[in-house]
Amino acid sequence: MELTTHLIRKSFPLLTELELQNEIVECSTLRAFDANETLMDYGDYIRYVPLMIEGSIKVLRQSDDGNELFLYYLNGGDTCAMAFTCCMMRRKSEIRTITEEPSQVIFIPLQKMEDWMGQYRSWREFVMTSYNNRFEELFSALDNIAFLKMDERLLRYLASKSRSLGQKMLNTTHQEIARELNASREAVSRLLKKLERKELLRLGRNKIELLLEPEALENWNRE
C-alpha cells in the first residue's frame, strides 16, 4: 500500500492541515508487519514515532523481576504516547510492542515530530489527545490490578482483545494470558473453565471463542 494524503486523512482525521499531511507522506516510512512481530523492545532507543494505519498492536511493560504485564492495545488511527515520551527525552524504551495481527505502521522521524509540535496546531492536538487516551488506559490497567478480582480482570482482558481485533474468536493460549496478566497459568485455566461452564465462552485448542459481545463480557459481573 502506498502512503498518500488520502490515507493520512482517512486514518488520522485530527491531522487536518494539508501541509502537515504532505510532510508526513514525504518524510515517513510505511511498513507492513505480520502477526507476532516485535516493533519495539525493552532497552531500544526510539528514533521514530509509530502511527498505526491498520491492525492491532499490544503494549507490554516489564517489572523488575522480569514479569510482563499487558497495558493496552493500539489500533488504526492510534499512536503510542510512551514512544513519544522516550523519543523526546532520549530515553530507552520501557515497553515492548508486538503485533496481534498483520498491521501497517507509519514511522515518523524524531526530529520531524519535535518540529511539528511548534509548527502545526493539529499535530499538537493529536499528540495531547493521544497522551490523554493512553493515560486513561494506563489508569484503567492500574485499577484492574488494584481493585478487581482475577475473574473480572480476565473478562476485561478478553473483551479488550476482542474489541481490538474486531472478532470473538481469539487465538491465544492460557500461558500467554497468564503471562500478560501476571498470574499463574493454573489460575487462568481454572477461571476460563469456570467461565465456559457459565456459557460466556468456548474453549478450544489454543483458541477461545467469546459468546458475548465485548461490552456485555466486561459488565457481566456487575449484573
Task: Confirm if 57 and 95 have CB atoms less than 8 A apart.
Answer: no
Place of cell 499512536: 79
Q: Where in the chain is the domain with CATH 1.10.10.10?
A: 150-219
The pTM for the full model equals 0.81
Strand partners, 203: 208
Where do runs of H (alpha helix) occur along the chain? 5-11, 18-27, 81-88, 110-119, 121-147, 150-165, 174-181, 185-197, 214-218
CA neighbours closer than 13 Å in the CB half-sphere of residue 190: 7
Q: Is the dihedral of CA 219, 155, 64, 82 positive or negative?
A: negative
**Fold (topology level) of 5-119:** Jelly Rolls (2.60.120)
Q: Where in the chain is the domain with CATH 2.60.120.10?
A: 5-119
Radius of gyration over every alpha carbon of the chain, rounded to an integer in angstroms: 19
Return d(Cα 128, Cα 151) in angstroms, integer: 33
Task: Confirm if 75 and 164 have CB atoms less than 8 A apart.
Answer: yes
CATH code, 150-219: 1.10.10.10
Along the 223 residues of the chain, how does pLDDT read in single tens digits? Answer: 677 888 899 999 999 999 999 999 999 999 999 999 999 999 998 888 899 999 999 999 887 777 888 888 999 999 988 887 777 777 888 889 999 999 999 999 988 988 999 999 999 999 999 888 877 877 777 776 666 788 889 999 999 999 999 999 999 999 999 999 988 999 999 999 999 999 999 999 999 999 999 999 988 865 4
φ/ψ (deg, to 5) at 195: -70, -30
